[in-house]
């Protein structure tokens, strides 16, 4: 039976390969339409929004199932606590590195010098400040959902994380009595991954609409006037990913970062097309499990990283703040830079995957600490979408590396399987996004079986 299934699975991989070729073509076509027919292209934005909305619809059920299965099936709560604490510590260290690199590059380039702030630009910055202003207390209280079930529908990943951890620990304490519930959750996970695989066939349409809209709305005028800031930001992100993260991954796990990114190439393409790292979150969970990272590690590190491991956002907030201060002729001292940016890194938690959230966080942080600079946020509104892509790609790269590193540190990774997956010997099943072959279904648990 397995022999007969091989051509079928090969054909499926061929079809999914052409799917991502179609995504690339759609991105190119979207850029062309945006340049030639800008007014029409802006009207295509709902296509991109609809696709991202479909992906986000699946995120909370996938996170819930992954964490419940990962936590509920381990022998002790200490294992989960070790992974979680190590993840948080690593995230803080990497955020500090990202913030430091952004400060150094921003102070060397001084990209904002010579720009003028008009009344129209100032009003745009004030509007962003109203959207992004929130306190740390509001953020912490927002982690608690209105009800147990609303955590699956709220759109807040941290609420889902909290409830899934509680349920996972409860099932862990139930022992064998909780096994039938875990079996149900396991089948639910397979179902949601199947639905996600179906949604992915709409990726070319979503990529075309998203790219056409942003090019049609922005054009090249903003790119030319703010090229220094954009170039500096992109170079800084590349340095952080390939020098800092690449070195750590090589030293700790002995893995070439290019091999890992080649395995995740389709996810990077998806983020580039949609400008949202959340669009690739469910696939990162599935691919990390397929690569041999323990389910508990994946379930804790990936969702937590999407809220706390914001390397790209840290670099963006750093350089954008320095850019605005220089553009308004009021440069920040080193002490002011560090104080303001530490506040904004804390305030940005939970906003990693939302397009435009970095701009709102930037404006909210300035409103709290330096309200005289808020108007300058309008200077970068025009190019924020392009910077959002770099933020999202860097955040995703940081979380993928973090999952492998923490799996290595906690012995939660099958290294032989990981090497084979990265070498292309065990291809990812795009059709199901789970490791079970179609002919091998898990046996349902029977209540009372010893």
Specify if 194 maps to a domain: yes
Specify if 145 maps to a domain: yes
Q: What are the pLDDT digits (tens) for 254-289?
A: 999 999 999 998 888 888 777 777 778 888 888 998
CA 40 – CA 51 distance, rounded (Å): 19
313, 392 Cβ separation under 8 angstroms? no
Contacts 24+ apart (CB under 8 A), 139-144: 139/347, 139/349, 139/350, 142/350
Specify if 432 maps to a domain: no
Number of domains observed in the structure of the chain: 1
Quick count: other Cβ atoms within 10 Å of Cβ 414?
A: 14
CA 30 – CA 214 distance, rounded (Å): 9
Specify if 331 maps to a domain: yes
Residue 155 sits in a domain whose CATH number is: 1.10.3860.10
Specify if 124 maps to a domain: yes
Domain range for residue 347? 2-422
Confidence class for position 5, pLDDT limits 50, 70, 90: very low
Residues in the chain: 450
Q: What are the pLDDT digits (tens) for 361-392?
A: 677 667 666 777 776 776 676 566 667 778 88
At 413, phi and psi to the nearest 5? -145, 135
59, 278 Cβ separation under 8 angstroms? yes
Specify if 441 maps to a domain: no
Specify if 429 maps to a domain: no
3 state SS of 413: strand
* Residue 242 pLDDT greater than 90, yes or no: yes
Residue with tokens 């903003």: 222
At 359, phi and psi to the nearest 5? -65, -40
Specify if 195 maps to a domain: yes
Nearest to 62 by CA among 292, 356, 295, 267: 295
CA distances from 398 to 88, 251, 286, 314, 403 (A): 13, 16, 17, 12, 9
Q: What are the pLDDT digits (tens) for 14-39?
A: 566 677 678 778 878 887 888 788 78
């Amino acid at each position: 039976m397995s022999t007969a299934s091989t051509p079928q699975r090969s054909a499926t991989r061929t079809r999914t390969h052409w799917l991502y070729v179609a995504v690339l073509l759609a991105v190119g076509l979207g850029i062309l339409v945006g340049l030639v027919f800008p007014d029409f292209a802006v009207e295509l934005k709902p296509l991109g929004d609809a696709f991202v909305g479909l992906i986000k619809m699946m995120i909370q059920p996938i996170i819930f199932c992954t964490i419940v299965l990962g936590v509920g099936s381990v022998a002790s709560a200490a294992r989960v606590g070790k992974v979680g604490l190590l993840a948080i510590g690593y995230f803080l260290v990497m955020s500090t590195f990202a913030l430091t690199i952004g400060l150094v590059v921003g102070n060397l380039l001084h990209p904002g010098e010579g720009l003028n702030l008009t009344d129209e630009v100032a009003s745009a910055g004030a509007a962003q400040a109203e959207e992004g202003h929130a306190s740390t207390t509001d953020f912490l209280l927002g982690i608690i959902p209105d009800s147990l079930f609303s955590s699956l529908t709220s759109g807040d990943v941290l609420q889902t994380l909290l409830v899934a951890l509680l349920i996972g620990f409860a099932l862990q304490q139930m022992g064998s009595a909780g096994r039938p519930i875990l079996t149900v959750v396991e089948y639910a996970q397979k179902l949601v991954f199947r639905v996600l695989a179906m949604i992915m066939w709409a990726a070319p349409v979503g990529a075309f609409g998203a790219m056409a809209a942003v090019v049609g709305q922005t054009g090249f005028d903003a790119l030319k006037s703010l090229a220094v800031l954009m170039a500096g930001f992109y170079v800084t992100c590349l340095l952080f990913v390939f020098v800092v993260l690449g070195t750590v991954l090589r030293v700790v796990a002995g893995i070439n970062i290019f091999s890992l990114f080649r395995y995740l190439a389709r996810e990077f393409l998806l983020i580039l097309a949609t400008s949202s790292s959340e669009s690739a979150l469910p696939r990162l969970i599935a691919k990390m499990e397929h690569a041999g990272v323990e389910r508990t590690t994946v379930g804790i590190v990936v969702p937590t990283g999407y809220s706390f491991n914001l390397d790209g956002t840290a670099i963006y907030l750093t350089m954008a703040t320095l850019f605005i201060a220089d553009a308004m002729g009021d440069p920040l001292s080193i002490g002011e830079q560090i104080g303001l940016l530490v506040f904004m890194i804390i305030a940005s938690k939970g906003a990693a995957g939302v397009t435009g959230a970095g701009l709102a966080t930037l404006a909210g942080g300035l409103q709290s600490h330096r309200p005289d600079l808020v108007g300058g946020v309008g200077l970068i509104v025009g190019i924020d979408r392009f910077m959002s892509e770099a933020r999202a790609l860097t955040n995703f790269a940081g979380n993928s590396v973090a999952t492998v590193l923490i799996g290595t540190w906690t012995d939660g990774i099958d290294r032989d399987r990981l090497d084979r997956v990265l070498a292309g010997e065990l291809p990812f099943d795009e059709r199901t996004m789970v490791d079970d072959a179609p002919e091998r279904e898990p046996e349902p648990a029977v209540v009372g079986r010893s």
